[in-house]
Amino acid sequence: MQHVMSPAPFRWLGRASSKEDMEDDLSDEAMGARHIEDQMRISFDDLAFIRRVGHGGFSTTYLAELNVDRNETRKLASPECKQLVAVKVASWEADSLGQWRSEVYALTKLEHRNIVRYFGFVATPPMHCLVLEYCDGGDLCERLKHPIPPGFVLKVAGGIASALAYLHERRLMHRDIKSANVLLESDGITPKLTDFGVATVLPDQTIAPHGHNSRHLTAETGTYRWMAPEVITHQPYSASADIYSFSMVLYELITHHAPFNDRSALQAAAAAGLENKRPPLPASTPKPLSELLDRTWAAERLDRPPATQLVIVFEEMKHSLPPDEIAWLDAPDGHPCDAPTLPLPQPKRKLEAPANDSANAPETASQGILGAGALAQCLEHVPARFSEALSRCFMKAV
């Protein structure tokens, strides 16, 4: 995950950094979690590696055979009972270990048909692995390079929305929704959300996905092309930032290419965060879909619909869209679009600038194509807090 800045602020035994964290780590909940985690421990010797299936910024994933029955927690005598699994091996950097811990913690609590199933973990330093359900349909990013079957867009979009609704109801936020983090089952059409390495627990005040935060979650967490403007520009954010990232995945499902694919990651972040731009939609996009995208990528985060509503919308679309619009969605190669990227209309509420910058805060973000030189010019005209964020984007993106 090339653009993640810092490990998720999950509380985790052995990772407590403050008195408050340590107290929390000794809570009943944490002790209960440790118990569950110990039950989920898998020995490295019980895994037979077959081949590499994927690679991310913080891990490499392999197809393997697991030789343990999780329910019995004992080795099986019969080789027929071996199970194919995916083993995500954390790389050895400190950040990867933090993400591994966060992911173990999150997955221990999750069970949903559209979330990758968790079998357990391996912790044999320096080797740390997650043992997951193997999804032999691969990831959505790769899948969209090939023709899709009928019904794919609505089924995949509805499934991801359902996983998000489940997470948000539990005050969890994924924070790295993108096509590479959506896997497909062997039926090729059932999506499974994965990669919970930067997921976080939302503060109490944000139980509703549209609530306000009392605590400022770590900015610039996720992957720039899919990242909500408020996350890029270091504003408070909540579960609705996942909804924005979801809109980028919906865009991929329609066009079969990444959002802002004519720009670098930094330029994409600047376009969405500073210029209020969104990737261009094909002129032929059916109205219900373009309206839905307008809502899910709204600049004002409180205007985005909650995931529960999206689940209903996709279910209804299956029955209510006219045949020509269904046929449009079912186009095997999608609708690639190279129209120019346009800014959204002026948001109802302006971006909040920090108090000491408010006098100089521009009403709209700077215009123009950003690049190494243009960025510096652009940064002169934006509040210090935004420019700091974008400078850091620039440092990381080149």
Ligand X SMILES: Nc1ncnc2c1ncn2[C@@H]1O[C@H](COP(=O)(O)OP(=O)(O)OP(=O)(O)O)[C@@H](O)[C@H]1O
Nearest residue (CB) to ligand X, 101 versus 385: 101
Q: Does 121 bind ligand X (CB under 6 A)?
A: no
Q: Does 258 bind ligand X (CB under 6 A)?
A: no
Q: Does 103 bind Mg ion (CB under 5 A)?
A: no
- Tokens (6 digits) for 119: 């079998």
Q: Does 57 bind ligand X (CB under 6 A)?
A: yes
Interacting positions 99-118 with ligand X (CB under 6 A): 116
Asked if residues 114 and 193 have their Cβ atoms less than 8 Å apart, the reply is yes
What does the alpha-carbon distance between residue 175 and residue 230 come to, in Å, rounded to a whole number? 12
Among 10, 25, 56, 152, binds ligand X (CB under 6 A): 56
Q: Does 139 bind Mg ion (CB under 5 A)?
A: no
Q: Does 102 bind Mg ion (CB under 5 A)?
A: no
176 is catalytic: yes
Which of 25, 139, 176, 195 is catalytic? The answer is: 176
294-330 burial, b for 16+ CB within 10 Å, e for fewer? eebbbbebebbbbbebbbebbeebeeebeeebbebbe
Contact window for ligand X (CB under 6 A) among 51-59, 310-318, 332-340, 353-361: 51-59
Contact window for Mg ion (CB under 5 A) among 140-148, 194-202, 279-287, 301-309: 194-202
Interacting positions 270-329 with ligand X (CB under 6 A): none
* Omega before residue 126 within 30° of 0, cis: yes
Determine how many CB atoms are found less than 10 A away from the CB of residue 217: 20
Site string for ligand X, 60-79 (x = CB under 6 A): -x------------------
What does the alpha-carbon distance between residue 112 and residue 311 come to, in Å, rounded to a whole number? 14
Among 195, 220, 230, 242, binds Mg ion (CB under 5 A): 195
What does the alpha-carbon distance between residue 290 and residue 283 come to, in Å, rounded to a whole number? 10
Determine how many CB atoms are found less than 10 A away from the CB of residue 5: 14
Among 25, 33, 54, 218, binds ligand X (CB under 6 A): 54
Among 102, 114, 162, 181, binds ligand X (CB under 6 A): 181
Q: Does 120 bind ligand X (CB under 6 A)?
A: no
Q: Does 133 bind Mg ion (CB under 5 A)?
A: no
Site string for Mg ion, 159-188 (x = CB under 5 A): ----------------------x-------
Asked if residues 52 and 61 have their Cβ atoms less than 8 Å apart, the reply is yes
Q: Does 58 bind ligand X (CB under 6 A)?
A: yes
Q: Does 184 bind ligand X (CB under 6 A)?
A: no
Element (H, E) at 389: helix 384-397
User: Helix (H, G, I), strand (E, B), or coil: what is residue 28?
Assistant: helix
Q: What is the 3-state secondary structure (H, E, C) of 115-165?
A: ECCEEEEEEECCEEEEEEECCCCCEHHHHCCCCCCCCHHHHHHHHHHHHHH
Among 40, 59, 128, 351, binds ligand X (CB under 6 A): 59
- Tokens (6 digits) for 108: 């221990």
Give the residue numbers annotated as catalytic, written as ranges: 176
Q: Which residues bind ligand X (CB under 6 A)?
A: 1, 53-54, 56-59, 61, 86, 88, 116, 132-135, 138-139, 180-181, 183, 194-195, 197
